[in-house]
Structure 1
């Protein structure tokens, strides 16, 4: 494995209190609020902590007494036996954990060397696939309203197919009501892990081997989400990196067949820890009044009826209940 990582006692780097949601009423019909903040005990919130529950040796520790859910220490080799399934994996990891997104004890800012990641290699039958058929970005990786958004949000319609980005194996298939909703984490041959959140339904199961382009779930708006979209993360040893470092989403492709990881990739951690804030994404809502119709609401806000139905998971035949808040942007 390329790159020696400095280890030691690492503090919680990103633990920021969930901000209060501020409600602003410019008039009696519009509600603007911040969104997509996970609950403090959700998987989404816990996934950015660096210190593990217990210091673990790489291969020698007896795991029979470890109280870590479904965590196993595995000897890294060309082939390892996990959950009764033979899985070929790259030698970047020594922990197999089906419960925790980030069980690794790595402070990415302390990396001393460069890790070369071969993203895909057709000669070795290692391909890649975009996570959706179309990839319009609705929210980027970065600061948002006093917290950090650790992935890229991509617009979709409920029920759209979600694809494995690279060859690999499903490490987590889980429900997180306070954050990701239905989500999956894939561990890949190339040393990265990818996370797919807010799915309406997961298809691939923990321990399943998947090829790039294989359908792993269907798009939705589960968990802490106010409209259908895919929350997509790319991680190295539990540490999120900006997906746009490796993806050109508008052109629907990867920027190259390889990517170099250094400590500089994770410099955002210092800003995240300090609670840097930006304007953040805001969602606009309309409070339904008597006589309102979807077409009338759409015309008032300059949006399409199809956008209203997509954002709210409704159809044109849905009866609008007075007092309901409909998202319009």
Structure 2
């Protein structure tokens, strides 16, 4: 029987193939083992964003003069906290930006953090007494070179009631006659700060914060259109005229304010001729000496304490709706609960 001789190179080839196969299996086995050891990716919980952000594309370019203004500086991530309809009248304040001195229209103006407050509830959250102003503030009302214009709030501006004492109280604006449904327009470029209902006062009203440091108030409208955080140009439609709230006829209650302090609009406007009296306006402490005549120790939003006499069929929710306040505000002001029986003839403090 003959023996089969295997060539040496063939033996070596078989050994090499066996070793390679074993190595590949080990590597493959290792990969499978490592695969099952892979940990699940960590998932970070992100709290939902409940703020309303101002749209950047509606605002000036980064290098524009408008963008340098602290008055609302829209290019920054300015946000407005979403409204809680159960606490509408608490006057909650939100810090937007702090500064003691800012460059506005090539002039350094001390503002002491006045515009650090962004409040969508209260007309005057600043609580600054205009009589304490030490310097004269020169406010630029409009500037064609910077493409900042102005418009009158109405097409026609016949005055029906002036700034000052009226019926034993103080009237902090100028009433302008209109027909219900007439267009009400923004006086200057700015951002809407308040759109609110006040049943015992201004009815549907809007407050706009402007580039020049002023704020304007538009009251008794049949419909308030512009919303908080919305950028509006001078002359842009913000609402429709009417006779809502505490009003005896269709008209626009128009106010001009600086640091929350009302200024007689007729110092600034020539209403019969439908124009501003000048391109700029100087604000001094003397403008606010009327506080002494009005019997006011310090400036406020201009609304006094209000009471409601309970009548048959009244409910807390109905009273709150009538005056544009929350039920919780009424209960807190009167030390009662929602279960309290409403006695006929009792007076409830509303604000």
Question: In 2, distance between residues paired with 1:209 and 1:134?
Answer: 24
- Paired with 2:247 and 2:208, the residues of 1 have a C-alpha distance of 21
**Helix, strand or coil for the counterpart of 1:93?**
helix
Partner of 2:276: 254
Contact 1:92 1:191 in 2 (8 A): no
Aligned-pair distance for 1:252? 0.3
TM-score normalised to structure 1 length:
0.58
- Over the aligned positions, Cα root-mean-square deviation in angstroms equals 1.9
Q: Deviations over 1:182-205 (max 9, x none)?
A: 000000000000000000001100
Q: Which has the higher helix share?
A: 2
Is 1:187–2:232 an aligned residue pair?
no
Following the alignment from structure 1 to structure 2, what is the Cα–Cα distance between the partners of residues 76 and 160? 38
Answer yes or no: is the 8 Å Cα contact 2:97–2:115 preserved in 1: no
Larger radius of gyration: 2
Task: Give runs of ≥4 in structure 1 deviating > 6 Å.
Answer: none
Provide the residue aligned with 2:34 in structure 1: none
Partner of 1:215: 237
TM-score of the pair, normalised by structure 2: 0.54
Q: CA deviation at 1:93?
A: 1.2
1:247 & 1:221 partners in 2: Cα distance? 23
Taking structure 1 as reference, are residues 110 and 274 closer, same or farther at Cα in structure 2, changes over 3 Å only?
closer
Aligned residue for 1:300?
A: none
Distance 1:75 1:202, change over 3 A: same
Q: Which residue of 2 aligns with 1:229?
A: 251
Aligned length: 198
State the shift of 1:75 in Å. 1.4
Distance 1:148 1:69 in 2: 23
Cα contact 2:114–2:126 (8 A) shared by 1: no
Taking the aligned partners of 2:154 and 2:203, their CA distance within structure 1 comes to: 18
TM superposition shift of 1:70? 4.4
Task: With a CA cutoff of 8 Å and minimum separation of 6, indicate the structure with the bigger relative contact order.
Answer: 1
Q: For 1:70 and 1:92, how far apart are their aligned partners in 2?
A: 15
Gaps of 5+ in 2: 1-80, 82-86, 100-110, 298-351
